[in-house]
Amino acid sequence: MTNPLQPLVGVLTLALLAPLPALALDWVDRLESRLEVVDTEFSGDLSVYVAHTGSGESVSLRGHEHWYLASTIKVPVAIELLAQVDAGERSLDDQVALEGRDYVDGAGQTNWHDVGTEFTLEHLLQEMLVVSDNAASDMVIRTVGIDNVNTRMEALGLDFVGPITSLADVRRRVYGEFHDGAASLDGPGFFSIRQANNPDGRVDVLAEVLGVSRSEFSQPDLDSAFDAYYQTPYNSGTLSAMGQMMARLVEGELLSADSTDYLLDLLQTIETGDNRLRATLPDDARFAHKTGTQHRRACDIGAVLAENDRSAVVVAVCTRGPRSTAEAERAMRAVGEAVTESGVLDRL
């Protein structure tokens, strides 16, 4: 006689033997394993912080160590500007005139304009984030006040080392590792130094601009000067802190709903970082992020946004060590692939 329960038993047996849906923390184990491989294969040093905002689950690889953040500090600057807009202190339609002290080498076209040229704060904000324009960034910083930027970050209670500085001050502090006279450098000096064909040539031009001999320099070469600068607290922080900042931004804790949506939309349009995390995240991922690149340092920090609510998967990565930016970007792509294959994005 056929047992009428036999088919059901078989189905249940197969169901028990079949792979179960990923448990809550399975993605954590998978990602940690993959990151160990990426870290081992990368010739430099790597820091990664990934968090699912809905559950609070996270993975950290040196995420609580201090790393140079490069141009990702422009996100805190943007938050301060939009907070002032929310408070009625400013409007994105406000005009700001370009001053001589705003000129600083780097991407973007703000440097191409004459002193006195006026830009709206909205234009400067977009240039600062979308193409990482340093002169536009310094105009925003001058307008909102760098002390206000740092005060707001401290008020968040995150373990920033800080402080954040203007982009021109980054140059002055790096070159100041050679000679105290670098504190007086301005746009023309920055441009002259940047136009040198190689790192040693830049040091030669620095000596010429300062009117001193290289024998008077405290550092022998550009690598040493940057290494000394990176030991200072300026424009540095932990990826866990930056990740928590992004999570709180997404969840609407830092800005009004309109300003939150505006900033997250803008961060999805940036034109840098095509060869970093975004390259190996799913094609349809809504990735709001900011990249940063400096001498032997590179970062990509952002959040993959859910479609229908204010949840996200925060992904932050920074590298240090390799002279080749391409090598650093390969490691970032490997991190993006590991995040994608871990299954955490399926939980959005």
pLDDT tens track, the chain, 348 positions: 444 333 333 333 333 333 434 455 699 999 999 999 999 999 999 999 999 999 999 999 999 999 999 999 999 999 999 999 999 999 999 999 999 999 999 888 999 999 999 999 999 999 999 999 999 999 999 999 999 999 999 988 875 667 999 999 999 999 999 999 999 999 999 999 999 989 999 999 999 999 999 999 999 999 999 999 999 999 999 999 999 999 999 999 999 999 999 999 999 999 999 999 999 999 999 999 999 999 999 999 999 999 988 899 999 999 999 889 999 999 999 999 999 999 999 999
Peptide bond into 163 cis (omega under 30): yes
Instruction: Tokens for 125, please give them.
Output: 């904000």
Please list the residues that pair with 304 across neighbouring strands: 287, 313
Listed by start position, the domains of the chain span: 26-164+234-347, 167-230
Task: Report in angstroms the alpha-carbon separations of 159 from 169, 229, 238, 324.
Answer: 22, 20, 7, 29
Tokens of 19: 């792979």
State residue 197's pLDDT score: 86
Short-list 39, 40, 136, 32, CA closest to 81 = 136
What CATH fold (topology level) applies to the domain 26-164+234-347?
Beta-lactamase (3.40.710)
CB < 8 Å & 24+ apart, contacts of 305-312: 305/250, 305/264, 305/268, 305/348, 306/348, 307/348, 310/250, 310/251, 310/252, 311/52, 311/53, 311/54, 311/250, 311/251, 311/348, 312/53, 312/246, 312/247, 312/250, 312/348
d(CA 86, CA 257): 10
Closest residue by Cα to residue 276 from 55, 70, 97: 70
Tokens for 199? Answer: 């790192």
Are 300 and 273 in contact by the 8 Å Cβ rule? The answer is yes
| Dist. CA 67–CA 90, nearest whole Å | 32
348: its two tokens = 């959005």
Amino acid identity, position 270: I
- Cα Rg, the chain, nearest whole Å: 23
Q: pTM (2 decimals)?
A: 0.91
What is the pLDDT at residue 9? 36
